[in-house]
Structure 1
């Protein structure tokens, strides 16, 4: 007798070789199937999420303010999970697209500072009510975002005050990266090396060294965070 079909999570990636990383691993372990779409390569996005248990939009080297067709299409598409009140998570670029969709602003730091490496964050009172947050997170961004109206701030950092938020019951955005496997981080450090000279960025050795210290706590947070957003499908 065939088993029950796994509920699907829509996964939106932005490069040919991008991966859902640990987010994908955790979702699969929790009983979901991944429906991977790459809009920059021409993949369509569904008109409804009736066939999905939720969606995750990942990061990428582009800006949420770029005028590329797929950036505008994705940003407009966020009306679907919001209108249908389906679980949605935006990571870095995905969070910035959500902010733009909600009428907020995405822009660089006023003094040109970036966050590339490991940086401390602090949960707000609302964030602490939800769960325990890591002290340090991995960042790789040159732009941040304002807090959309009616959104609830969950975590903050010194240079970029808006690090995590919830909008409504089911839409979530985070600026930092908990999805990187060790192999992914090594790839980012090699391919992004020219950015390590930017103001506030950390050298590549500190990215990998920090992982040995802080990654276990970040992964534990991610496991709990994904269950809080998407739940776990009923077994059987």
Structure 2
């Protein structure tokens, strides 16, 4: 979706204070957008999307999408999601962000009955409807133990061996990816250190398997995701 020159801001909703070297940030800075990071868990307000907002991306994190009483800021994020959908602001949810979009649309979110988890690089396979977004199977970063049901009116885009609901779209401008295609090799190394307790759990790849697939898959993952962002957000000037 191309944007006019007045739509300069990307609202990037974060659930931690870690480094902002992800592929969304790289794409936005290279294509002339103003990166407006918001940290609602740390007190930042969201309000409603203003006219200069080109798109919004909701990143992953350690919270549960349905724990709105325990984490009241999630209610503000749910209202933001609803406002973006109502105003046709391009919206992308990644991992927790995808679960939040599903939850805001009335779908069930929580751990699967199988008890399996995904941490590593797993193959996504597009549905027939998903081929416009993901033309071919692709290994992408995963780090989660929750899933979501498909919201009413959503289009199912992709599955993996362990989690059938990996991606969906809603309308023309809302997308939800359970995966983390925004994560670089450096970012994944930080994940490995932070999520050391995941190793050995059902479904989780060994560190050796993660390392092997990471170097094989990272370039293709990056190329696909940058192409997706170009289609979803566009640019406001030549890449820098």
Is this a same-fold pair by TM over 0.5? Answer: yes
From 147, 150, 169, the counterpart of 1:166 = 169
From 153, 157, 163, the counterpart of 1:154 = 157
Shift in alpha-carbon separation, 1:184–1:132, aligned structure 2, 3 A? same
Unpaired segments of 5 or more residues in structure 2? none
Instruction: Provide the residue aligned with 2:226 in structure 1.
Output: 223
Aligned-residue RMSD, C-alpha: 1.8
- Structure 1 position 203, deviation (Å): 1.9
How do 1:77-96 and structure 2 match up within 5 A?
A: 77-96=80-99
Instruction: Provide the residue aligned with 1:7 in structure 2.
Output: 8
Instruction: Provide the residue aligned with 2:65 in structure 1.
Output: 64
| C-alpha contact (below 8 Å) 2:7/2:52 kept by paired residues | no
Query: 2 CA distance for matches of 1:132 and 1:195?
Result: 31
How do 1:117-196 and structure 2 match up within 5 A?
A: 117-196=120-199
| C-alpha contact (below 8 Å) 1:49/1:86 kept by paired residues | no
Higher relative contact order (CA 8 A, sep 6+): 2
Between the two proteins, the alignment pairs up a number of residues equal to 233
Structure 1 outlier segments of 4+, above 3 Å: none
Deviations 1:153-204 (A, max 9, x none): 1111122111111100100000001111222111110110111122111122
Query: 1 CA distance for matches of 2:201 and 2:17?
Result: 26
| C-alpha contact (below 8 Å) 1:134/1:218 kept by paired residues | no
Moved more, 193-202 or 46-55: 46-55
